Amino acid sequence: MKNEFEIAVFEGDGIGPEIMAPTVQILNALQKRHQAYSLNFTYCDAGAMHFSKTGQSLPESSLETARKSDAILLSAMGMPDIRYEDGTEISPQIELRKELNLFAGVRPVTLYPGQNTPLKIPEGKTIDFVLIRESTEGLFWSQGKGEVSKDQASETLVITREVSEKLFKFSFKLAQQRKSSGEGRGVVTCVDKANVFRAFAFFREIFDEQAKAFPDIQKEYAYVDATALWMVQKPWDFDVLVTENMFGDILSDLGAGLMGGLGLAPSADIGLQHALFQPCHGSAPDIAGKGVANPFAMILSSAMMLEWLGHENNNSDLLKDGKNLKQAVGHVIQNKKGLTRDIGGEAGTKEAASAILKQLAD
């Protein structure tokens, strides 16, 4: 059983370093406690501030470190005032997704007891589903390739058999893991628009083909418009949702909305060889340097990393620590002590992280 892991760390811009520091501190406390595995952190330069100093947003050496690592932890990158010459924002996280073929964007939508949500949750129900957003093609394939003339503009949506097969296999396996750990019911829903577009009928066909290899998992279909409605009306019915890139982009923000905002929304971008873990929020330049940033989405992303490393390497200590870390965040939210301002508390970043460390020690 492999138990030594290289982790590439991208602290990024804005509040990035402020939320990464306590996250690494917590991971170090966990690995020290059991000494059952070791995580070796290598810090990598990248991002808007690095670009403004050197003219490079993602140096080759950082990409190489990411490529060689077992997992990548990334906080947030980009600053509104620092841009490439063509006016677009500095976003090495998107380059990493493309370079490392991170096709599965995993966005858990989880409501911990006591967590704020705009919904009224019926007695005995809770929200706990995972949205999987294909992250390398779909409508985003067209990024930078759109054609615009005086009278017409067009963008192209691309869905390939190769990526869709990997995506659905990944989704069914995740549903199996969730079912065996008691987190899910063993259902995967293909979210598309197969009633209108041939590309989505093709997407659904591949979904059906892949489903045959997972007879223990139930397959369902939903159109994307109905999914948006049901995410508000009955999100407790979902387990694993899998969808195209643009649909996933929109639905994942709706998911963050269900969780009361971005401060508690973790994410992962996973491929066959590499995986990157980062919070859904951006670099929040408006609060950078003030010590008030919420570190929980970053900490929850690192818990996803522990669980992913655990599954990939059949390492039960990592699996256990990933679960413990998620539960510790859940307890702190429930007790309402150590919450930052964005989620209704008064704590600063350090106090919030200390509350997690204390909970883990108890």
Are 71 and 305 in contact by the 8 Å Cβ rule? The answer is: yes
255, 282, 322, 338: which one binds ligand ATP (CB under 6 A): 282
Question: What is residue 183's three-state secondary structure?
Answer: coil
For residue 212, the minimal CB distance to ligand ATP (Å) is 38
For residue 68, the minimal CB distance to ligand ATP (Å) is 27
End-to-end Cα, the chain, rounded Å: 29
**Per-position x/- string for 20-59, each x denoting binding to ligand ATP as judged by CB under 6 A, each - no binding:** ----------------------------------------
For residue 160, the minimal CB distance to ligand ATP (Å) is 27
Tokens of residue 133, six digits: 């957003």
Q: How far apart are CA 125 and CA 232, in angstroms?
A: 13
Tokens of residue 43, six digits: 């810090």
Element (H, E) at 211: helix 198-211
Per the DSSP assignment, residues forming a β-bridge with 267 are 278
50, 97, 281, 326: which one binds ligand ATP (CB under 6 A): 281
| Number of shown-chain residues binding ligand ATP (CB under 6 A) | 14
Tell whether residue 301 is a contact of ligand ATP (CB under 6 A).
no
287, 299, 318, 328: which one binds ligand ATP (CB under 6 A): 287
Only one residue has tokens 């418009």, namely: 225
Tokens of residue 97, six digits: 């997704």
Tell whether residue 283 is a contact of ligand ATP (CB under 6 A).
yes
Are 338 and 346 in contact by the 8 Å Cβ rule? The answer is: no
**Per-position x/- string for 83-122, each x denoting binding to ligand ATP as judged by CB under 6 A, each - no binding:** ----------------------------------------
Q: Which stretch binds ligand ATP (CB under 6 A): 2-10, 139-147, 291-299, 303-311?
A: 291-299
For residue 179, the minimal CB distance to ligand ATP (Å) is 32
CA distances from 291 to 62, 265, 316, 333, 343 (A): 27, 19, 35, 19, 15
Give contact residues for ligand ATP (rule: CB under 6 A): 15, 78, 262-263, 281-284, 286-287, 293-294, 297, 342
